[in-house]
Structure 1
């Protein structure tokens, strides 16, 4: 583990049976069980940057702005996560939250805003935030400043719903 002051060793992508378990939520969305996840997870349907094929992944919602129609998400695997890189290349995507679909456009979040997002997330979900930080290779003491530092080094995206779709 590292402190928030140093770059962490990012977790490796799951393989084998862990990959099957990690991808299980995609299949649950496929059979209509997306509402089981509430608003904490969303299904991201995006375009592969090299293949042009449709790709799907389930990611955790860090913050949702219902009035503005946006969802903020973080790449726990860092800037090299495929879905993150795909959205930087082709920011137009679709998300499914529960049973509803929304066309969205992805926008990178500035590091200082990522810090604020992470601090608010930690205040709402302290246990999940601590576990998420540990998973990403950070050791935190639970202070707001610590979570801000973590959030400043994690890549965040804001997914804005297309006007009129929300």
Structure 2
């Protein structure tokens, strides 16, 4: 089963002062203040598939596995989001969490994996999950089945730390 095309429900990209507000976390990460976000946000570097330029976007971490480590993020603007398409073209990249850089590889999750992730996220963050689904135009009634359906429609990516990074971190622990 493929991800449902959410293009018709795709939220409008912010403009004006809203765009500045959305981009503010990038400036904070670049200023060395990424630790303000704890484990909730990551700064993803991605290479423009047309321009070849380094791009950045701040994404909410839907789930974090410290043993890997890995971070799972969702594309709130659907599969047409530039960062998502750029990562599909070049899945090896860097993220910044807190004030640390980490080499990662993006793994694009199946709709069923997305359903499991979204139901877990909705249990941990019920209000935020409702708002995310409403923002994306996805109907949810608060029940697990509706979050599973939403999770099948939202593109999720797991960012797995590179083996060399893990070995370096363990050597310096």
The alignment's TM-score, normalised by the length of structure 2, stands at 0.90
Supply the RMSD in Å over aligned alpha carbons.
1.4
Map of 1:53 onto structure 2: 53
Following superposition of structure 1 onto structure 2, how do residues 45-124 of structure 1 map, counting pairs within 5 Å? Answer: 45-124=45-124
Inter-partner Cα distance in structure 2 for 1:66 and 1:78: 26
* Structure 1 residue 139, shift from structure 2 partner: 2.6
Can you give the 5+ residue segments of structure 2 that lack an aligned partner in the other structure?
167-173
Following superposition of structure 1 onto structure 2, how do residues 146-165 of structure 1 map, counting pairs within 5 Å? Answer: 146-165=146-165
Is the 8 Å Cα contact of residues 139 and 150 (structure 2) preserved in structure 1? Answer: no
Is the 8 Å Cα contact of residues 107 and 158 (structure 2) preserved in structure 1? Answer: yes
Count residues with an aligned counterpart.
162
Can you give the 5+ residue segments of structure 1 that lack an aligned partner in the other structure?
none
Inter-partner Cα distance in structure 2 for 1:160 and 1:76: 20
Inter-partner Cα distance in structure 2 for 1:124 and 1:32: 29
Inter-partner Cα distance in structure 2 for 1:106 and 1:123: 25
Structure 1 stretches of 4+ with a deviation exceeding 4 A read 5-8
The alignment's TM-score, normalised by the length of structure 1, stands at 0.93
